[in-house]
C-alpha cells in the first residue's frame, strides 16, 4: 500500500457503544460435522456508524449479521445492544435483505405501516410516519401501488422505508443492492447516503463490492475465513469528503484504498 494509512477504529470520545460484541464465536453443528464459523469476534458499533463489511464468500459475514439480528445464538460470547443482552429478534434491530421481503398482498404504504400497527400506534401517528418515510425514499407517488408494480430499486427503497419507519436502533443490511443493475445500484447508493445523513442511524452493511464499501462506509471491516474473524477495522478517510461519487472514484486515495482492501481480502 502506498499512501493509505489503515488506522484502527478509534472510539469516539463522546459516546459509549450502541452495540458491543464480546468474545463471540459461532459453531454450526450438524450430524456429521461441527463448523466453527466465527471466532473471537470483538466489535463496538456506535450511533452514527456506517460500517461496511467485506470478505470473501463463506467467511462468515451473514452469520455475524444473523447473530446481531438475534436469528442465531452465539456459541460463546455475547451481543449487548444499548446495555442489554441481545437474545432474539426485536424492534431495536431492523434488517434489510438482498431480496426485498415486502408483503405482496399489501400496498407500499400499507407495507411501511405494518410494523407501526404492531407497535399499537394511533392511525394519525402512523399516517404521519408513513408519509415521512415515503418522502425520504422518494416513493410518494407509488404509495398506493403493489410491490409487483415497482422496479427492483423501488422495492428495495420501500423495504428500507419499512425498516426505518419502526425506528430501530441499528439497521443490518445483507448485500441489499447486489441484485440490482449498475445504474440502479449507484442510484440506491446515493439514496442511502442521503438517508444516513438525515437519520444518522447505525448501519451494518455487508457487501462484496470494495468500491461500494469505500463510497458508503464511515468504517470498513474486512473478515477472513476458517474461522471467520475481523482482520481490518478502519475508519474510511473518504467518508469525510463532500465530493460526489464520481469525483471520489477519481481520487488517488480511493484507488490506493481499493487496492489495499482487495489485496487484504485476497490474502485470506
Element (H, E) at 128: helix 123-136
From candidates 19, 21, 55, 177, binder to ligand ATP by CB under 6 A: 55
From candidates 24, 46, 62, 68, binder to ligand ATP by CB under 6 A: 62
Kind of pairing, strands 19-29 and 34-45?
A: antiparallel
Minimum gap (Å) between residue 61 Cβ and ligand ATP: 4
- Alpha carbon of residue 55 to chain centroid: 14
DSSP string, 144-204: TS-GGGS-HHHHHHHHHHHHHHT--SEEEEESTTTTS-HHHHHHHHHHHHHHHHHH--EEE
> Sheet containing 34-45: which strands, arranged edge to edge?
34-45, 19-29, 76-81, 84-85
Minimum gap (Å) between residue 264 Cβ and ligand ATP: 15
Residue 74 engages ligand ATP in binding (rule: CB under 6 A): no
Residue 160 engages ligand ATP in binding (rule: CB under 6 A): no
Residue 58 engages ligand ATP in binding (rule: CB under 6 A): yes
The whole-angstrom separation of Cα 6 and Cα 29 is: 36
The whole-angstrom separation of Cα 221 and Cα 268 is: 14
Q: Would you say 63 or 111 has its CB closer to ligand ATP?
A: 63
Residue 176 engages ligand ATP in binding (rule: CB under 6 A): no
From candidates 18, 21, 24, 59, binder to ligand ATP by CB under 6 A: 59
From candidates 3, 57, 141, 242, binder to ligand ATP by CB under 6 A: 57
Judge whether 169 and 82 are in contact, CB under 8 Å: yes
Give the cell for residue 200.
444518522
Residue 32 engages ligand ATP in binding (rule: CB under 6 A): no
User: Where does this chain touch ligand ATP (CB under 6 A) — which range of 53-61, 111-119, 165-173, 231-239?
Assistant: 53-61
Minimum gap (Å) between residue 249 Cβ and ligand ATP: 24
Residue 227 engages ligand ATP in binding (rule: CB under 6 A): no
Residues that bind ligand ATP (CB under 6 A): 28, 35, 37, 55, 57-63
Amino acid at each position: 500500500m502506498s499512501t493509505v494509512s489503515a488506522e484502527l477504529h478509534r472510539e469516539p470520545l463522546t459516546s459509549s457503544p450502541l452495540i458491543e460484541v464480546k468474545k463471540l464465536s459461532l459453531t454450526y453443528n450438524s450430524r456429521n460435522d461441527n463448523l466453527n464459523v466465527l471466532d473471537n469476534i470483538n466489535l463496538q458499533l456506535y450511533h452514527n456508524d456506517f460500517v461496511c463489511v467485506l470478505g470473501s464468500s463463506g467467511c462468515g459475514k451473514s452469520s455475524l449479521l444473523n447473530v446481531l439480528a438475534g436469528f442465531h445464538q452465539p456459541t460463546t460470547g455475547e451481543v449487548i445492544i444499548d446495555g442489554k443482552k441481545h437474545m432474539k429478534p426485536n424492534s431495536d434491530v431492523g434488517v434489510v435483505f438482498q431480496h426485498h421481503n415486502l408483503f405482496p398482498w399489501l400496498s407500499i404504504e400499507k407495507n411501511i405501516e405494518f410494523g407501526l400497527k404492531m407497535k399499537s400506534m394511533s392511525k394519525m401517528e402512523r399516517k404521519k410516519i408513513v408519509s415521512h418515510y415515503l418522502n425520504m425514499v422518494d416513493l410518494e407517488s407509488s404509495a398506493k401501488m403493489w410491490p409487483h408494480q415497482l422496479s427492483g430499486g423501488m422495492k428495495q427503497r420501500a423495504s428500507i422505508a419499512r425498516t426505518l419507519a419502526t425506528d430501530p436502533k441499528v439497521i443490518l443490511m445483507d448485500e441489499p443492492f447486489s441484485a440490482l443493475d449498475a445504474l440502479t445500484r449507484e442510484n440506491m447508493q446515493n439514496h442511502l447516503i442521503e438517508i444516513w445523513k438525515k437519520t444518522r442511524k447505525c448501519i451494518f452493511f455487508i457487501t462484496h463490492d470494495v468500491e461500494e464499501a469505500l463510497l458508503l462506509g464511515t468504517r470498513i471491516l474486512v473478515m477472513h475465513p476458517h474461522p471467520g474473524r475481523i482482520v481490518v477495522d478502519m475508519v474510511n478517510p473518504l467518508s469525510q469528503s463532500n465530493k460526489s461519487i464520481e469525483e471520489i472514484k477519481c481520487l488517488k486515495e480511493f484507488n490506493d484504498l481499493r487496492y489495499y482492501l482487495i489485496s487484504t481480502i485476497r490474502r485470506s
